[in-house]
Amino acid sequence: MKKGIAILLVFVLIGLAQAHEFWMLPNKFRFEIGEKIILDFRVGEGFEGDHWDLNKHKVEKLSIHNRVGEIALTDKVETAKGKNLEYTFNNVGTHMIAMQSDAAFIEQSSEEFDAYLSEDGLDYIREEREKLGEQNSSAKELYTRYSKLLIQVGERADDTYKKSAGLKFEIIPLQNPYELKSGDYLDCKVVYRGNPVSGGLVKVWSHVGNRVFLQNIYTESDGMIRFPISSTGPWMVSSVKMVRSNSPKAEWESMWSSLVFEIE
């Protein structure tokens, strides 16, 4: 992987950006044995936004991974606005919570779709639309959320952070964020169906006080990105992948992946 990655640093005021990121937000990021995590599903930008509407959407799969194994929690998800999952930790170590949503449908005008493609680094889809003569047509899309959250229980860290959750589109960190500090670097690998994603736009969000900082980074040929850990607090890494859909309902299928953790 090339070390000299160009990073665009953008200052974003909370609430001004288009709200379409998805993440899992815990009541805190570090726990002791016997403590309970209370988890919210959120949509928006940075780490502010609205509660995900579970009357319109559905969690297809949710599980927690730790050094002992994997625990299925899909049937524990609540459809309320906030407090969507509660779980009591019984093992020390690094834990990874992974979620997959159902496929939701959206139709946008050509102008709306083009703006969306530009914002999320999906220019290759615009080029394909032009080749197919669809550039002036509305776009029908099915989109699925793939979200991961890293939590630390006790002081003993382990390598759960780098395990694959088996998601179709996934962001995998190569260092444990709970062993990093401000001034370090974090490497992540972006994979689609287990294969590295080359040239994909990845957004790295850090929340400092009431401000959000955004780094836009494109993956190398091996699917890797590297970025500096510039502050303590919550971080989110997100990316979007789009392919031609095989469904009669839509022309396109998009996958939205996020990874959330905290730097102490």
- The per-residue pLDDT string of the chain (264 residues; one tens digit each, 9 = 90 and over) reads 443 344 344 433 333 334 489 999 999 999 999 999 999 999 987 667 889 998 889 999 999 999 999 999 999 999 988 899 999 999 999 999 999 999 999 999 999 999 999 999 999 999 999 999 999 999 999 999 999 999 999 999 999 999 999 999 999 999 999 999 999 999 999 999 999 999 999 999 998 888 889 999 999 999 999 999 999 999 999 999 999 999 999 999 999 999 999 999
pLDDT, position 47: 66
pLDDT, position 48: 74
Query: Is position 20 within any domain?
Result: yes
CA distance 4 to 202: 16
Backbone angles phi and psi of 78, in degrees to 5: -100, 145
pLDDT, position 204: 96
Q: How many domains does the chain have?
A: 1
Query: Is position 80 within any domain?
Result: yes
Query: Is position 160 within any domain?
Result: yes
Q: What share of the chain is helix, strand, coil (3-state, %, to 5)?
A: 10, 50, 40
Provide the residue range defining the domain that includes 121.
8-263
Query: Is position 69 within any domain?
Result: yes
Query: Is position 44 within any domain?
Result: yes
Q: Give this prediction's pTM.
A: 0.92
Query: Is position 166 within any domain?
Result: yes
Q: Are strands 252-263 and 139-153 parallel, antiparallel or unpaired?
A: parallel
Query: Is position 2 within any domain?
Result: no
Query: Is position 3 within any domain?
Result: no
251 closest CA partner among 81, 117, 154 = 117
